[in-house]
Amino acid sequence: MNILELPNGNGQEIYIDIDELYIKREWINQELEAIVMPDIPSKYSNPVYEAYKEMFKYLYEKGYKIVTDDRIVNEDTFFFSPCLDKHINKTKEEYSTKKDNKIALLLMEEGITEPFTVSFPLDSFPENLPPLPFVLKNKDSQGGKEKFLIKTPKQLEILKRFYNEITPYAKKVAIEEAKEKWNLGDDVIFDEFGRSNTPISIGFIDYKKEFHDKMIIQKYIKTPTKYNTSLRVLTSSSGDVLASSLKYSAPIEPKEEKHYGLFDRYLQDPSSPYFLGSESIISNTVSGGDSILLGKDSYENIEQKILLAHDIDPNNAIVPETVMKSCINVATKCKREVGAICGMDFIYDEEERIWKYLEEHEYPMLYSYAEKYNLSYDSNKKDFYTTNQLLDMRVRLHALALTIQKKYTKESGKHI
């Protein structure tokens, strides 16, 4: 495993959310102030386990202290992973709301706003909608999944019908699928909680709650050129832009494929009574788009045209100043909430000629970073999950190295 060379820790605390990394509490050695993962037989091991095992050993040997209790961290702690402050926030939704509100305020300091956005009330369809077309999206989804362009009154009516009918309809589908899977007869009956008069039970989804927790409606932003575009900026809590790229893809009709998301399995499936037939607005790489890495020496003709249309000079292709300041502001002042790295997405409003904020990811996809450092990162490969986990660890260690280097430089300056 290629672990970046780190400066000596000299007791620097590193907060790690053990629940996010599936670390067992018995692996925490309080006396050593380290996480010690046991040796396991090779047939049960995997590259991610071995990589984290090596990383924790390396951090301890370098003089770093591992902290797993969010009640004792402070602002000098390095947050390897996001800190949900579970002793304060009763739910993840409470944490997310506080984080999102803080990010919005920090973005406003640089004059960056987001498209007009409407959330779903707990038990009703929102009334104050933006004019058609607008975007329905799952704010927790990555890879461009579960984003729907609502262009016509007919699509809006289908969406409203889906909202009102989907919970009982999904229950019916779940029961039919369970009966087919287990070869159950009509004498098997499931109640409202998914329990049956057999040992078999199934889970039901409250879709109105899922709408409330995950889905938002945003004003549709027309971008320059014929392509769907968005800007991804990967920033570290040290205040460094690690990589950035302008994503682009041509609008396409939805593909006939299997859909596994809670919403797209009905809204994107042509066989569903709630099929929207919405045009794709996805621009990211994982869903088949292309990427223009910023900071390169030269660009192809089509890349130059797209960059220029977004007011980015191909001869000096860097993150626009207001966007860069916003990303650094969020990454450094929300390091507790977002962790060592954050991926922020922006969209260029062709009408207003300004960049607007779309979303932030604490665990972003890392295509831009991989391209910048010439690393293998292919979502079509079977081992992509492992590749992504290992690269995520590398990027967080990169952020740690930058943080400690800056800390040493600052402390050295005080003594001059």
pLDDT digits (tens, 9 = 90+) for 327-371: 999 999 999 999 999 999 999 999 999 999 999 999 999 999 999
CA distance 24 to 9: 24
Q: Which residue spans of the chain are classified as CATH 3.30.470.20?
A: 92-372
Q: Is there a cis peptide before residue 168, judged by omega within 30 degrees of 0?
A: no
CA distance 232 to 329: 16
Is residue 415's pLDDT more than 50?
Answer: no
Instruction: Decide if 324 contacts 107 (C-beta within 8 A).
Output: no
Is residue 131's pLDDT more than 90?
Answer: yes
Task: pLDDT band for 250, please (50, 70, 90 cuts).
Answer: confident
The closest alpha carbon to 293, from 377, 355, 350, 380, belongs to: 377
The closest alpha carbon to 30, from 69, 81, 80, 73, belongs to: 69
Give the residue-averaged pLDDT of 226-253: 92
Is residue 3's pLDDT more than 60?
Answer: no
Which three-class secondary structure state does DSSP give residue 360?
A: strand
**What pLDDT, on a 0 to 100 scale, did the predictor assign at position 258?**
57
**What pLDDT, on a 0 to 100 scale, did the predictor assign at position 1?**
40
pLDDT (tens digit per residue) in 371-395: 999 999 998 899 999 999 999 999 9
Is residue 286's pLDDT more than 80?
Answer: no
**C-alpha separations of 276 from 15, 146, 335 in Å:** 44, 12, 39
Task: pLDDT band for 104, please (50, 70, 90 cuts).
Answer: very high
Is residue 98's pLDDT more than 80?
Answer: yes
Q: Which of 18-22, 105-109, 306-310 has the lowest mean pLDDT?
A: 18-22
Cβ burial, residue 215 (10 Å; 0-12/13-18/19+): buried
Give the residue-averaged pLDDT of 15-33: 87
Q: How far apart are the first and last CA of the chain?
A: 38
**What pLDDT, on a 0 to 100 scale, did the predictor assign at position 199?**
92
**What pLDDT, on a 0 to 100 scale, did the predictor assign at position 348?**
98
Widest Cα–Cα separation across the chain: 84
What is the number of other CB atoms lying within 10 angstroms of the CB of residue 231? Answer: 24
- The overall average pLDDT reported for the chain is 91
CATH of 92-372, one of 3.30.470.20, 3.40.50.1980, 3.40.50.2030, 2.70.210.12: 3.30.470.20
Instruction: Decide if 78 contacts 400 (C-beta within 8 A).
Output: yes
Give the residue-averaged pLDDT of 170-179: 94
With pLDDT > 70 as the criterion, what percentage of the chain qualifies?
94
Is residue 12's pLDDT more than 50?
Answer: yes
CA distance 61 to 32: 10
pLDDT (tens digit per residue) in 27-63: 988 888 889 999 888 877 889 999 999 999 999 999 9
**What pLDDT, on a 0 to 100 scale, did the predictor assign at position 141?**
78
Task: pLDDT band for 14, please (50, 70, 90 cuts).
Answer: very high
CA distance 85 to 87: 5
With pLDDT > 90 as the criterion, what percentage of the chain qualifies?
78
Is residue 253's pLDDT more than 60?
Answer: no
pLDDT (tens digit per residue) in 202-239: 999 999 999 999 999 999 999 999 999 999 999 999 99
CA distance 349 to 68: 42
DSSP letter string over 147-175? EEEE-SHHHHHHHHHHHHHHHHHHHHHHH
Task: pLDDT band for 411, please (50, 70, 90 cuts).
Answer: confident
- DSSP-derived secondary structure letter, 41: -
**What pLDDT, on a 0 to 100 scale, did the predictor assign at position 68?**
93
The closest alpha carbon to 200, from 187, 216, 215, 217, belongs to: 187
pLDDT (tens digit per residue) in 72-92: 999 899 999 999 998 898 888
Q: Where are the beta strands (DSSP E) in 78-227?
A: 78-79, 117-119, 134-138, 147-150, 215-219
Give the residue-averaged pLDDT of 2-16: 86
Give the residue-averaged pLDDT of 148-175: 96
The closest alpha carbon to 205, from 133, 129, 265, belongs to: 265
Instruction: Decide if 12 contacts 399 (C-beta within 8 A).
Output: no
Is residue 164's pLDDT more than 50?
Answer: yes
**C-alpha separations of 377 from 61, 372, 383, 386 in Å:** 30, 11, 10, 10
CA distance 77 to 321: 28
Residues whose CB is less than 8 angstroms from the CB of residue 229 and which lie 6 or more positions away in sequence, other chains included: 223, 246, 247, 248, 283, 306, 310, 347, 348
Is residue 406's pLDDT more than 80?
Answer: yes
Distance of alpha carbon 146 from its chain centroid, rounded?
13
Q: Left, alpha or beta for 112 (phi > 0: left; psi -120 to 50: alpha)?
A: beta
